Amino acid sequence: MLEIINLNLIVSTMQLTIVLIVTAAVFLVFIVIAIIKMYKLKAENKRILESDAFKTDVDESYKDFTDSHLYDNK
């Protein structure tokens, strides 16, 4: 009787192969979705960086503060 129970618990090679293929397919879908999102974000980032609104904000945001520094070596 004990031998029959042990035989039922053993996973066949075919079942294991099917489970591994399904798992690999799910992860492959996730990787493809991540790659598509990465390219979309890269294109949007490039578009934003090339826009005039971003360029004017960056140019005006930096101000030279070294003239009023306390530890000036003049």
Q: Is residue 15 part of a domain?
A: no
Q: d(Cα 21, Cα 31) in Å, to the nearest integer?
A: 15
Q: Is residue 8 part of a domain?
A: no
Q: Is residue 68 part of a domain?
A: no
Q: Is residue 6 part of a domain?
A: no
Q: Is residue 31 part of a domain?
A: yes
Check: CB of residue 66 under 8 Å from CB of residue 60: no
Domain that holds residue 32: 22-59
Structure tokens at 73: 């070596």
Look at residue 56 in the predicted model and tell me its pLDDT.
59
Q: Is residue 47 part of a domain?
A: yes
Structure confidence by residue, pLDDT tens digits, 4-28: 555 566 778 888 999 999 999 999 9
DSSP 66: G
Residue 33 banded pLDDT, cuts 50, 70, 90:
very high
Provide the number of structural domains found in the chain: 1
Structure tokens at 63: 């101000």
